Amino acid sequence: MAPPGISSSSEENPNFLQSKNIVVLDGGFATQLSCHVSQPIDGDVLWSARFLASDPEAVIDTHIDFLRAGADLIITNTYQASIGLFVKHLNLTEEEAYALIKKSVELAHTAVERYLQEFPDAKKPLIVGSVGPYGASLHDGSEYTGAYASSTPVETMKAWHVPRIDALIEGGVDLLAIETIPCRAEAEMLVNLLKDKYPQTKAWLAFSVAQDGKSTAFGEPFQETARACYDLNPDQLVAVGVNCTAPRLIESLVDGINVGRSTPIPIVVYPNSGESYNVEMGFTKTDCAPLSSYVAKWLDMGVKGIGGCCRTGAEDIKAIKREVEKWRIQNNVSEV
Ligand SMILES: [Zn+2]
């Protein structure tokens, strides 16, 4: 087993999100998981992460759904996982909580093994460790406002992030998805943490954004923030982008981000279905066109990775994959 900080196989994929490569991500884990379990998921303080303990087979089946749909990678079910929440809500010791986060990677590996048994000629999918924001642990929708950024010291956020990242890397992820990050302070801390503590690990960084189509959720200018974060650590960041926002906002967020740059930032986007989440109201629809209808436009703009977030399932990933293939043929871009 490689020690923390030493990634097992990301070096095998040097072209990930680079040059002509286009990567299809998976979709909203909790959404697809709901096809395999009868208990409610939305509203649970642990969200889908509870099922790492209560129904690991359902977690594996959910990953396999996305792989069969054409995802090039799967993201571990750890967005809402943390040592503190597992200790509190699953009555685990800290060691058991750490082991359960590691187990999320094992379940993803099992899904990949089973998928490759079913499709022996398929390209080996990557396993990406989900690193959700500190705010997700507060269970008050703060990852969509970044409100905690002004009251929480970054050192507190760092101390909270480290054990989960340790567990994901020790479990053997290929790279990390630092995702739904609402504010620059937390993003910069994580990008610097990668450099200082996990120098061999690659990651992408995806922001949670405001409804104005130009700011992070906390209100900083998105493009300036994304560029600044990428430039802090271009060797380890395979992409920067946006997740869990309405598809209609992506164009104004991303368009022109690489103008005037000698090193373009590979862009990753994985919006939600266009329904926005509110703790009191739940999901409300704000976007009527399906996510897949935007894919060609985003690829024309140079986006390198596309997937789905909340309220998107395997069928959405299948539709995204179809659009990516169509675009490749139309633009004479072969698969890398
Ligand atoms: Zn989401």
Residue 10: predicted pLDDT: 41
- Print pLDDT tens along the chain (336 aa): 333 333 444 444 445 666 668 999 999 999 999 999 998 888 888 889 999 999 999 999 999 999 999 999 999 999 999 999 999 999 999 999 999 999 999 999 999 999 999 999 999 999 999 999 999 988 888 888 999 999 999 999 999 999 999 999 999 999 999 999 999 999 999 999 999 999 999 999 999 999 999 999 999 999 999 999 999 999 999 999 999 999 999 999 999 999 999 989 999 999 999 876 666 666 666 666 889 999 999 999 999 999 999 999 999 999 999 999 999 999 988 776
Amino acid at 89: H
What distance in Å separates the CA atoms of residue 198 and residue 212, rounded to the nearest whole number?
34
Between the CA of 243 and the centroid of ligand 1 the distance, in Å, is: 7
Pairing of strands 275-278, 282-285: antiparallel
What distance in Å separates the CA atoms of residue 177 and residue 238, rounded to the nearest whole number?
10
Q: What is the pTM of this model?
A: 0.93
Residue 62: predicted pLDDT: 98
Q: Is 229 annotated as belonging to a binding site?
A: no
Q: Which of 73, 74, 76 is nearest to 21 (CA)?
A: 73
What distance in Å separates the CA atoms of residue 68 and residue 286, rounded to the nearest whole number?
29
Between the CA of 229 and the centroid of ligand 1 the distance, in Å, is: 21
Between the CA of 2 and the centroid of ligand 1 the distance, in Å, is: 31
What length is written for the chain? 336
Between the CA of 252 and the centroid of ligand 1 the distance, in Å, is: 19
φ/ψ (deg, to 5) at 172: 100, 35
Between the CA of 310 and the centroid of ligand 1 the distance, in Å, is: 4
Residue 5: predicted pLDDT: 38
Structure-derived torsion over alpha carbons of residues 202, 261, 299, 121, reported in degrees to the nearest 10: -30
Between the CA of 3 and the centroid of ligand 1 the distance, in Å, is: 31
Between the CA of 143 and the centroid of ligand 1 the distance, in Å, is: 10
What distance in Å separates the CA atoms of residue 118 and residue 231, rounded to the nearest whole number?
41
Residue 334: predicted pLDDT: 79
Amino acid at 31: T
φ/ψ (deg, to 5) at 201: -100, 130
Residue 6: predicted pLDDT: 36
- For residue 223, the surrounding DSSP H or E stretch is helix 222-232
Between the CA of 120 and the centroid of ligand 1 the distance, in Å, is: 31
**Residue-wise pLDDT tens digits, 250-288:** 999 999 999 999 989 999 999 999 876 666 666 666 666
- Tokens at residue 95, please? 């060691």
Tell me which residue has tokens 């990008």. Answer: 191
What distance in Å separates the CA atoms of residue 97 and residue 244, rounded to the nearest whole number?
26
Amino acid at 251: E
Between the CA of 306 and the centroid of ligand 1 the distance, in Å, is: 14
Q: 218-225 contacts: CB < 8 A, separation 24 or more?
A: 218/145, 218/146, 218/147, 218/149, 218/182, 218/183, 218/184, 219/146, 220/183, 220/184, 222/253, 223/253, 223/256, 223/257, 225/184, 225/187
Neighbours of ion ligand 1 (CB under 5 A): 244, 309-310
What distance in Å separates the CA atoms of residue 319 and residue 307, rounded to the nearest whole number?
10
Between the CA of 100 and the centroid of ligand 1 the distance, in Å, is: 22
Between the CA of 92 and the centroid of ligand 1 the distance, in Å, is: 27
Between the CA of 151 and the centroid of ligand 1 the distance, in Å, is: 24
What distance in Å separates the CA atoms of residue 135 and residue 144, rounded to the nearest whole number?
9
Tell me which residue has tokens 């309405």. Answer: 246
Between the CA of 247 and the centroid of ligand 1 the distance, in Å, is: 12
